Amino acid sequence: MKFLHPSPQSSSRGVTILRVVFGALMVVHGLQKLMAGHAAFAASVAAMGVQKPELIAWLVIAGELGLGTLLVLGALTRVAGFLAAILFASIWFVTEAGKPLLTDASGVTAELLIVYFAISVAFVFLGPGALSLDRKLARQPVRSR
């Protein structure tokens, strides 16, 4: 029954797996928007009534690509998690605010955004996990000249 009481090392590995997969999904979302064309994404943002849709479209694409990459690498993980939480909360606010959480359709309204927001916030508290640039750089001794 050892699996009921995981070691700190196995928990840290689990955080690493979650961080890499989550970051990769963010990168995929950003790449999809970029490959479809900035103009097409900006047009969908404009259709939502967002001010300065061209700028917002670039910020969302850059956020998903940049923050996703930082998470995959485990670099600035807590900062990337915090900024990703702001990104997903902002997307939720623009796309889903005012809609009921439960509808006649199956599932929960904006459940993916809710999950992405929660995972992002979790990284603020959990940190990067076992395999990350954050951990590697933190273990490097400071050398005096």
Per-residue pLDDT tens over the stretch 18-36: 999 999 999 999 999 999 9
* pTM for this model (two decimals): 0.84
Confidence category of residue 12, pLDDT binned at 50, 70, 90: confident
**Residues facing residue 108 across a β-bridge:** 102
Q: Helices 77-96 and 53-73, interaxial angle, to 10°? A: 140
Confidence check: pLDDT of 142 > 50: no
Average pLDDT, the chain: 87
Per-residue pLDDT tens over the stretch 82-114: 999 999 999 998 887 776 666 666 666 678 888
Residues sharing a CB contact under 8 Å with residue 28, sequence separation 6 or more, in sequence order: 68
Handedness of CA 93, 95, 97, 100 (dihedral sign): negative
- Looking at per-residue confidence, does 68 or 12 come out higher? 68
Question: Any idea where the domains of the chain sit in the sequence?
Answer: 12-133
